[in-house]
Structure 1
Amino acid sequence: MSMSAIDDRRELVRRSTTDSALAPVNGIDFIQIDPADEARLIVQFIFDIDTDVDPPLSTALGVPLSKQMVSIAGGERIRSIAVESVQRGPGSNQLQVIASEVGDFSTYTLRIGPQGEAPPDGFDPVLCVASFTFHVECSKRFDCKDSTVCVLPAQSAPNIDYLACDYPAFVRVMLDRLALLAPRWRERNPADLGVAVVETLAYVADQLGYRHDVIDTEAYLGTARLRTSIRRHARLVDYRLDDGNNARVWLALLLDGDLPQGVPPGTRCATIFDGASAPDLRADTQTYNAALAAGAQFFEVMADRFTADKPPRPNPRPLSAVNNRMPLYEWSAETVCLPAGATTATLDGAYTLQRGDILMLAEACGPDTGAEADADPARRCVVRLVSDSTHSADPLTRRLVTHIVWHEGDALPFPLCISSVTDQKHGSLPIKQVSFAYGNVVLADHGRTLGSPLEATQELLAGVPPYGRYRPALSQPGVTLAALNPYIGDQPGDLKMPIQPASGAASWSAADIVPTIALASTDIDHNALAWAAVGDLLEGGVEGETTAFETEVENDGTTYLRFGDGVNGHAVEQGMEFHASYRVGNGAAGNVAADSIMLIDRSFKRGGMIRSVTNPLPAFGGRDAETIAHARQNAPVAFRQQERAVTAQDYVDRALQFAGVARAAASLRYTGSWTTVFVTVERESGVALDASFKSGLEAYLDRYRMAGHDLEVEDAVRVPLRVAMHVCVATGYVAADLAKLLLAIFTSGLQPDGTPGLFNPQRFLMGEPFYLSPLIAAAQQVEGVASVKVTRFEREQVPDRAGLRTGVLVPRPTELFELANNPDFPERGQFELTIDGGI
């Protein structure tokens, strides 16, 4: 909680003994450190406390306190500080606490009450905790109050495919030529006669060109045009053509009544279109046909957990109308927000939420204006609870509250405002319930299962011919390709199965993606066989009796089924009859915008309880099929790639392909019995190498390791630096303010505008030199700096003046410079700033 929110809470506690609307409670006002003995803490309470420790202390409200109920937590270098003794302080509202030792320079927390439990009765849950530092005599030139700067993420440039061929290429060439010859003609409407002529000529030219060299062109990867030809040519060089996959989306439901059975998996939803009666997507021909004609994108609800049956059955989570919108509790503070990285929150009211439930945290109105239209759509986040909700009451206001904890993988990526005060233009009015938690959230994915009323439930495929290959085509194009692993949470009542974060819904690998086709066959004797879709019939595990098939998608989206030959996959036989059920809808078209899905099929039991449905966040993960031009460029390169690491550079190239590796270096050394390859890596953002990352990288590199070579992965050798700078301040400027600005720039964290500081780990690269001139230039750009002089620019362990003479520090290939400037860790580099002049 912010300092302003704590101050507001403290003032309410002060008034709790005089205001009849408030329940009287006590709390910590502040903590003092004895300068003569920094292990001696004086805890100042808001109200008086009486008696000594033995017998136990008690508040003015008669609630006992004991030595075991005072604890100290925190610290970076010095941790686990114990409380040696507790005595009544000099004043009637003071408590003297003796710590076992003096801590480091970081911030510690003193708590009244056992760790992880509620505070004693009569103590405010917010003011039972106070932060302090042991070293009060350290120089503090600036205001200690932290300021939070919300930085918008950098917008990436759109991914534009500049490769074009065939029909579109002819159209573009002719239009570009016409724009040059007839600049006044700018019409691009397809109904225009000139555009129609251009498109007709382009179509004829494309067909004539294709027919002229169809046989020769399809025989080579570099000239083939059919997607099937490209796929087979690429497969010969072990390159797999990517057919894309479907998108997923989070749906928020607004209910008029409870849904004890939840929303059944497969329930169809769709984007809104003109003429639709939201939110009803009735399963009748008229509504369905209107949605198809309007180009609506269809989605189907996914199952997020299964029963323990074999095979498992989908078991949707129950949904409750009470959990439609749950306000976040502001603890009586006018301005309070959940900080970035938060994994806990308190709801205003009593709500029943279970482990594994999905919540949507979202801003409901603008914190500066109070208007719903000004709510920031970027302030929306989906989280998954890791434990059941717990209930308690605010002892100050007696309001019931609900405590929730969600997965660390779903930590808030941004600060979320709970209550605020509008700006002066809007009256400086306090606003509560700026943000809400939405409880009825389900996951859906792009695509619709073909079925009644328009399509047959099962499509009868063409019969097996008496000779030649059996390669039937599905009647509907755009078959859905989805990840095999659905987003599954815990089994009902199974606390041992780990909870997946909500962010895990966006995580899957290319190997998990298969066509969503259910294929069954019967032979002449009416024996039934079930066939499974696989990525490739030549992959491991597909044997002669395996009833499997693969798919091939043509340029127009038509999907062909390809069966085995009796060696790689079961062979089809004359007289077999095949039926297929499948879904359609795939690619980036499913990445619909936020708040565009507003239709849902409510024909299931109690489906009429759904008042509305929407997607507060855009759909994600949908990917279009790889273009032929892209495959033509990359397949030959994949064939020429060296798949065996021989030289040290080969290991470097492979290590750089591993996710999370920013830089790498390698060396081969004979260690007595064999040659050992030492691979030194630098992780992204300067993160230290841990055991799990090391084992994963070693397993990845082991596939390329030559027989007879041992492999060892090491972290980069971190070399601390020491830099000293003297700044002269110009007349009329405050030296302390200028020093604060400079230290905000020369930091290992982030600058106030969100960019990395000059000593941020992202600016130090393994084996890359570190130059002096950018430091001087950054200091001189600050207004009010008259002159800058760097007096030390050297390695911490090897001090010399070579760096000052040359203006650069050059590391060895496996070294990584660091300058944390942390008084608790001086061995990680130090920056000394001296300043004079000014006011």
Structure 2
Amino acid sequence: MTLSADGAIWCGDDRRSGVLANPAHPLNGVDFVEYRRAPLAPPGERNLLDVTFLKPPPALAADDFAVLGGVRIIDIRVLGVAPVVDPRTLTLFLNKEGDFSTYILSVVHPLIDEERSEARFSFKAGCPTEFDCRLSVECPPEALIEPALDYLAKDYQSFRRLLLDLIAARNPGWQERLPADLGMTIVELIAYAGDYLSYLQDAGPGTEGYLDTCLHRVSAARHARLVDYRMHQGRNAFTFVHLATEAVGGAPIPLGTRLLTRIGRPLIGETAAPGATISIQPQFDSDPALADVTVFETTTAVTIRAAHNELRIHSGGDAECCLAAGTCQAFLYRLANADGTGAAVRPQFRPGDWLLFEEVLDPRNGSPYDADPAHRQVVRITAVADAVDEAFTDALTGGALTARLNPADPPLPLQRVEWRVEDALASAFCLSAVLDDETIVGPVTIARGNIVPADHGRSLVEVHDVGPDPGAGRWPLPSLALAAGPLTWQAPASALEFDATGTPLLGRTELDIPASAAAPAIVLMMSFPGQPDEIWTPQPSLLESDVYDQHFVAEIDNDGAATLRFGDDHYGRRPLDAARVVARYRIGNGAAGNIGRESLVHLVTPDPPPPGFQPVTRLFQPLPGRGGEDAETIEHVRQIAPEQFRAIQFRAVTEADWEEVALRHPDVAAARATFRWTGSWHTIFVAIHPHDEAKLRRLPGGGAELAPDFAAMMRAHLMRFKLAGYDLAVRAAVYVPLEIEVMICVAPGYFRGDVLAAVAARLSNRAGGLFDLDDYRFGEPVYLSRLYAAIEAIDGVDSATARMFKRYWDAPRDELARGVIEMAPFEIARLDNDASLPENGVLRLIAVGGL
């Protein structure tokens, strides 16, 4: 097992060291490190570190080495260097011995390969242990996604569409839609039963004057607004597409380019079904071939290049590697030719571009047909940097890297890309694999550029020649109805900027928003006699609009039709004397856009095509459409809106209030507050337990305090809620270390080391462990019964007996007999089981029986 210097790539087969071990290769590297003691040696030569290189090393001095790491013992220096009998080994003399943590020996020299310039070691490797010291990497399979049930479906058609959308996402191969099909019969039977039950829930008399009895969506939305609740109209789905091109210099794809699901027959005026790029403008309202087509549009402008069609992920030349889960960076290069020959070329990504990671081979058998189509992820690049790997040349043979034996040869060109933390890889991606017959297969995962976001909806332009009313001297109606629907509700742009025709100029990139934050996809161009055209934009409500604001509200009624309501010259401006209104809007909304992966296959040539545009050779949708949500039902508003009247309180009076406002901060896992009389006034003491332990500063003896910057941030957060006459003190929780010793009786047929490792993992402070700090609250006692239940649930444990169960710094009392360790109100139990920091809790496990 090898680990890259940045920790992003784990490899099970060290091939790079074999390349460097070649005597003809100019670079060298560290093979392994061993620590030993010489008690009888003179001072300064008693702590020895034997460093073995891949081949005889160059002349190295003590200044070329550095010992990094350590928890309790740091600042370990190299005093001298001496050769030994083995020409590949050097002995380093250290000034002192380290603690139980893992240290890193680093070598900095021009002839030492950067990837093999570090080695991890422990000063306590000789201490007896029951655990396997082998470095292991967990690459668990991705958890199955539970189906998203849409509780807003209320009638036969919506239930039927909900079921068909779920089938399309889970089983894209089932295309049968004939009513006589058995599957469709079952779908329609379930939809009928849902419609009948929904009718029984909604049936009953009522009037539009009350929220409890109104039957129209417009009435429900207005009633809800009175109690500060915004009734949402759903939102459209979004996805990402990969556009393959032959354009070497780059081809522009403008904002709003249309993408279509598969068209199975010729369009009007054509003789064959369309290919990847449709050169004519489809007639969506009259062409029967487009009756069942779903339309998406790109949400931003991109430039696609042939160089980004397919990219390789550099693993350092090793085999059986994977990009670890949580990784936010990678090194990329591309092949010059499709057959894997020619020189490797550096990509040309820029910050803001998107990148797709796609599994193209099954890591178990190397078959492309068994690759997991769900094992894909799109990330957004935040930083790029040029890099090289001097261990290999830029020449490739059959797609394989070539060792750089001649320093005059150009090194392998790479581009280092970083992406957002929120886009960190959700699961590990295998880069190469070794089959049972020792055959190396790869690349298992590739990267693709030319990724563009797109969301559901089709743009329309609708012209209304309204004209003024001669009698009243104003526009005759305070509202305007749109002819087509349903109106699209989408993620709004971060800023609004339009050209002279009202077309948006700025793209939208943050598409994953809740339906309550979606905005209607519409803008109006109004013409007034003798005046320049004006742009009017939608707003959630006109209550905050000024008398001169060019705003309107889009209201949706039960039939899905959209009506635009304007102001009254008090809340928003009235469109007096408007002669012409040009509405630019989109239609297509709700869960209907949650299409399955690889459903979008056609791109419509923009009208007019931008300079340099070239047809795409392939349109590939790697991920299913998601985020599409149907409009909120009236019944849901009746149940939820009244609770919104109890608005968030922005003052803290009681101790419970202070705890509640502290928990509003996203970095706080738990909080505890209490009032105390401090002489002349009361002080509210608020103890904070953060999610991230890095926001704590360790104190001698196992104590902790809030980091200064985090403490200042929490104080500023809480001061907004403080009443006059009180003082505020913010501090960290009191963490109580535990000392627990358990004897485990291992069942016959189980290895003691495996069982102890499983028990230690279950009782750890990691996520999912019994002593995970995020699972404990202030004052929560530690029960021995929970400890027994966690241990005995592990396979291989016959029985368990606690021999010590107490606070670390205190003498044993009656905790073991009572089966509980009590905690004070501001205390939280802690058990880190770190040999270098026993003051943070100690766990001792003793195993008997087993193998």
TM class by shorter chain equals: 0.7 to 0.9
CA deviation profile, 1:69-123 (whole Å, cap 9, x unmatched)? 333333344455444433434543222333454333222222322xxxxx624x4
- Where 2:583 maps in the other structure, the secondary structure is strand
Within-5 A mapping of 1:293-308: 293-303=290-300
Q: Is 1:249 equivalent to 2:208 in the alignment? A: no
Select the residue among 374, 378, 396 that pairs with 1:378.
374
**Is the alpha carbon distance of 1:487 and 1:67 closer, same or farther for their aligned partners in structure 2, counting shifts above 3 Å?**
farther
Q: Quick one: distance in 1 between partners of 2:725 and 2:629?
A: 42
1:564 matched residue in structure 2: 567
**Match of residue 368, structure 1, among 361, 364, 370:** 364
Post-superposition Cα deviations, 1:668-699, rounded to whole Å, max 9, x if no partner, equal 34445654444444455888566777666666
Shift of 1:820: 1.1
**1:402 maps to 2:414:** yes
Q: Residue type of the partner of 2:403?
A: T
Separation of aligned partners in 1, 2:487 and 2:53: 68
Q: How does 1:819-830 map to 2 (within 5 A)?
A: 819-830=831-842
Pair 1:129 & 2:118 matched: yes
What are the equivalent positions in structure 2 for 1:757-768 lying under 5 Å apart? 757-768=769-780
**Match for 2:83 among 69, 85, 88?**
88
Amino acid at match of 2:549: T
Is the deviation greater in 126-135 or in 274-283? 274-283
Give the 3 Å change call, closer, same or farther, for CA 167–440 of structure 1 in structure 2: closer
Q: What per-residue deviation string (whole Å, max 9, x for no partner) do you get for residues 775-805 of structure 1?
A: 2234344555454221211222334333212
* Residue of structure 1 in register with 2:322 after alignment: 337
Q: Using the alignment, how far apart are the partners of 1:712 and 1:799 within structure 2?
A: 32
1:299-338 to 2 correspondence within 5 Å? 299-303=296-300, 316-338=301-323
The answer for the alignment partner of 1:745 in structure 2 is: 762
SS at match of 1:228: helix
Q: Deviations over 1:37-86 (max 9, x none)?
A: 7753221123224xxxxxxx53xxxxxx4544333333344455444433
How far off its partner does 1:33 sit? 0.8
Letter aligned with residue 597 of structure 1: L
Secondary structure of 1:630 counterpart: helix
Distance, in Å, in 1 between the alignment partners of 2:841 and 2:515 is 43
Q: 2:634 matched to which residue of 1?
A: 628
1:38, 1:134 within 8 Å by CA — same for their partners in 2? no
Superposed counterparts of 1:194-593, under 5 Å: 217-258=207-248, 260=250, 262-275=252-265, 277-286=274-283, 290=287, 293-303=290-300, 316-348=301-333, 349-356=344-351, 357-383=353-379, 384-395=381-392, 397-398=403-404, 400-407=412-419, 409=421, 410-423=423-436, 427-450=437-460, 457-460=461-464, 462=466, 466=472, 470-486=478-494, 505=510, 508=513, 513-539=518-544, 542-593=545-596
Kept in 1: contact 2:30–2:118 (CA 8 A): yes
Match of 1:27 among 29, 49, 70: 29
The count of residues paired between Structure 1 and Structure 2 equals: 751
1:615 aligns with 2:624: no
Tell me the CA shift for residue 430 of structure 1.
Answer: 1.5
Please say if residues 361 and 442 of structure 2, whose CA atoms lie closer than 8 Å, have aligned partners that are also in contact. no
Is this contact kept in 1: 2:494–2:508, CA < 8 A?
Answer: no
Deviates more, 1:133-142 or 1:659-668: 659-668
Name the residue aligned to 2:165: none
Task: Quote the Cα distance in structure 2 between the aligned partners of 1:322 and 1:617.
Answer: 22
Cα deviation, residue 221, structure 1? 0.7
Name the SS of the counterpart of 1:285 in structure 2: coil
Distance 1:330 1:209 in 2: 63
Aligned residues of 1:338 and 1:418 also touching (Cα < 8 A):
yes
> Could you list the per-position Cα deviations for residues 535-554 of structure 1 after superposition, in whole angstroms to 9, with x for gaps in the alignment?
22113xx2111222222122
**8 Å contact from structure 2 (residues 788, 800) kept in 1:** yes
Match of 2:50 among 38, 42, 45: 42
Distance 1:265 1:86, change over 3 A: farther
Which secondary structure does the structure 1 equivalent of 2:385 belong to? coil
1:580-629: CA deviation from partner (whole Å, max 9, x where unpaired): 11122233333332222221123434443411112212334333332211
Aligned to 2:787: 775
CA distance in 1, matches of 2:354, 2:690: 32
Q: 1:111-157 CA distances to partner (integer Å, 9 max, x unpaired)?
A: 322xxxxx624x44433322112223322333311222333454464
Gaps of 5+ in 2: 4-9, 39-44, 161-179, 266-272, 334-343, 393-401, 405-410, 497-506, 697-706
**SS of residue paired to 2:541:** coil
Q: Distance in 2 between matches of 1:26 and 1:106?
A: 27
Using a 3 Å threshold, how does the CA distance of structure 1 residues 145 and 443 change in structure 2: closer, same or farther? same
**CA apart distance, 1:209:** 7.5
Matched, 1:10 2:9: no
Structure 1, unpaired ranges of 5+: 50-56, 59-64, 114-118, 172-185, 304-315, 451-456, 489-501, 751-755
Q: Which amino acid aligns with 1:797?
A: W
1:638 aligns with 2:644: yes
Q: AA paired with 1:594?
A: R
Q: In the alignment, what sits opposite 1:107?
A: 102
Residue type of the partner of 2:623?
A: L
Residues 11-45 of structure 1, C-alpha deviation per residue, up to 9 Å, x if partnerless? 4444x23xxxx746432221111223775322112
CA distance in 2, matches of 1:296, 1:10: 54
For structure 1, which segment, 353-362 or 162-171, has the greater mean C-alpha deviation from structure 2 after superposition?
162-171
Task: Identify, as 1 or 2, the structure richer in strand.
Answer: 2
Once residues 163 and 475 of structure 1 are traced to their aligned partners in structure 2, the CA distance between those partners, rounded to angstroms, is 25
Distance 1:292 1:224 in 2: 41
Instruction: Write out aligned runs for 1:694-713 (5 A).
Output: 704-713=721-730
User: Does structure 2 conserve the Cα–Cα contact (< 8 Å) formed by 1:282 and 1:288?
Assistant: no
Aligned to 1:180: none
Q: Does the CA contact (< 8 Å) of 1:225 and 1:628 recur in 2?
A: yes
Aligned to 1:835: 847
Q: CA deviation at 1:249?
A: 2.0
CA deviations 1:339-363 (Å, max 9, x no partner) are 2222333335322323313221221
**CA distance 1:713–1:739, change in 2 (3 Å):** same
Give the Cα separation in 1 of the matches to 2:627 and 2:716.
Answer: 28
Deviations 1:299-326 (A, max 9, x none): 22233xxxxxxxxxxxx55432122111
Q: Which residue matches 2:64?
A: 69
- Following superposition, the deviation at residue 459 of structure 1 comes to 2.5
* Range with greater deviation from structure 2 (817-826 or 152-161): 152-161
Moved more, 572-581 or 439-448: 572-581
Distance 1:623 1:165 in 2: 13
Partner-residue secondary structure (3-state), 1:222: coil
> Aligned residue for 1:808?
820
Q: Is the 8 A contact 2:231 2:516 kept in 1?
A: no
Separation (CA, whole Å) in 2 of partners of 1:614 and 1:793: 59
Report if aligned partners of 2:466, 2:578 keep a CA contact under 8 Å in 1: no
| 579 and 4 in structure 1: CA distance in 2 versus 1, 3 angstrom threshold | closer
**1:592-611 map, 5 Å:** 592-603=595-606, 604=609, 605-611=611-617
Deviation of the 1:837 alpha carbon: 4.5
| TM-score for both structures, normalised by structure 1 | 0.79
1:718 pairs with 2:718: no
Counterpart of 2:624 in 1: which secondary structure? coil
Does structure 2 retain, via aligned residues, the 8 Å contact 1:163–1:629?
no
In 2, the alpha carbon distance for the partners of 1:411 and 1:106 equals 27
